[in-house]
Amino acid sequence: MRSLLYTIGSLLILLLSHDGGFTGAADAEHTFRATDIHTHRHRRNHGHRRGEEFEYSALSCRAYSASLDEFGAVGDGVTSNTAAFRDAVSQLSHFADYGGSLLFVPAGRWLTGSFNLTSHFTLFLHRDAVLLASQEESDYEVIEPLPSYGRGRDTDGGRFISLLFGSNLTDVVITGENGTIDGQGEPWWGKFKRGELKYTRPYLIEIMHSDGIQISNLTFLNSPSWHIHPVYSSNIVIQDLTILAPVTVPNTDGINPDSCTNTRIEDCYIVSGDDCIAVKSGWDQYGINYGMPTKQLLIRRLTCISPDSAVIALGSEMSGGIEDVRAEDIIAINSESGIRIKTAIGRGGYVKDVYVRGMTMQTMKYVFWMTGSYGSHPDEHYDPNALPVIQNINYQDMVAENVTMPAQLAGITGDQFTGICISNVTITLSKKPKKVLWNCTDVSGYTSGVTPEPCQLLPEKQPGTVVPCNFPESSIPIDEVKLQRCYSRRRLM
């Protein structure tokens, strides 16, 4: 790939000479190639084949695009393309202030190590494109632990950088035609199980300290650990994803919004060996000190299979706080629990103002699960007086079949979980249910129209009448965000 020498002067020439009236919006996208700056005027006079146009939806459209194979990449599944991805993003980053850029990944199997994203940038995968994550540790830089965690999740100290990584970015889109990002995680799982890793395993995507993130229309497979991890970020849209990992492999969480504000997750299908969605905000004293909650989170039209974990988990790392979480139209199949709140003495923080409704569950161990003794800590310096606040938790309009135990609700002695509302819920038991169907300690609230009969700590509010929980009527800002219709062109080979 010939180096692109972008200068302000050449950019201005390119913009001014665009023969269609350059808009940089959804009307069209200029297909940028390595030689465009030098040959653009020649093409105006002689014409050129621009390739097949395709349409996609995004937070922002792009003025310029290039194809990965123009940077020397080889999609044979064997050749390393790390340098090509890094070069492509670096070169296209020069267009950040001129309408942004799109990197098109054509059909092929593109082996790569970690690479960083840039602002005002779209990574677009063809339907037959597969990004294969390198299995070599040397392809992943070791970076510092997150400040709200104080250490890596797998080990003390640092962590391997994610396959796709970005920090302090604005307007980043990762999308496609249901192309695939395959973490090839099996060697990592084995090393972790055998205790052979010095650092925490990489995720497939981590974007931090950023604003305006879209991840959509893709399939993710077999991450070494978590699949998608936005952290310390805001205004996030995650939609139309398929995430698949073996149900026997722990820590392969699907989507983990962490200390994020204004996030929308919708129309996702997740099969995982851990939580399908895990909402987080930091770990013990590190999360308390960092003090950045996850709030204004919307989850809807999620389908989850997770035999050993939760469909939606809140915590256990919730020390910065979790609030205003809204989930609706959820399908759970063969999962350990529907909604689980995980916390412990030493966590501090809070989980409050949680609203879940319209949930259908089939073959579950628990429907409702709250745990006040989820005991892992980053180190021995946590504060045993830092007690979490769990309040205003609302579950409504749910049906569950083949359930072993409707609820396991355990607060903390001297620190009750309060304001629990469960309304209009019908649970059908499995052939061999637990003898105690509702096990409740250190919790308070009420129920209405719930079968089988709940525990005494959650009494019927008005017998004979279904009293709904108090759900907010106003929307959160991210729900008002609409994607634009964008166009680009595939390069003709």
Return the active site residues: 274
167 - beta bridge partners?
Answer: 208
d(CA 47, CA 70): 20
For the chain, percent helix, then strand, then coil, each to nearest 5?
Answer: 10, 45, 40
Q: Which amino acid is at 185?
A: G
**Are the C-beta atoms of 441 and 408 separated by less than 8 Å?**
no
Token pair 């994803």 is at which residue?
241
Residues in the chain, how many? 493
Look up residue 472 and give its two tokens: 């907010």
| Gyration radius (Cα) of the chain, Å | 24
State whether the Cα torsion 212-479-392-276 is positive or negative: negative
Look up residue 462 and give its two tokens: 């008005």
Q: Which amino acid is at 141?
A: E
Quick one: DSSP state of residue 381?
T
**Are the C-beta atoms of 244 and 253 separated by less than 8 Å?**
no
d(CA 219, CA 242): 5
d(CA 234, CA 231): 9
Q: Which of 341, 346, 359 is nearest to 443 (CA)?
A: 341
Q: Which of 246, 266, 255 is nearest to 313 (CA)?
A: 255
Q: Which amino acid is at 378?
A: P
354 - beta bridge partners?
Answer: 325, 393
Tell which phi-psi region holds residue 15, choosing left (phi > 0), alpha (psi between -120 and 50) or beta.
alpha
Burial of 385 (0-12, 13-18, 19+ CB in 10 A): exposed
d(CA 77, CA 492): 21
Q: Which amino acid is at 109?
A: R
d(CA 449, CA 109): 53
d(CA 47, CA 44): 6
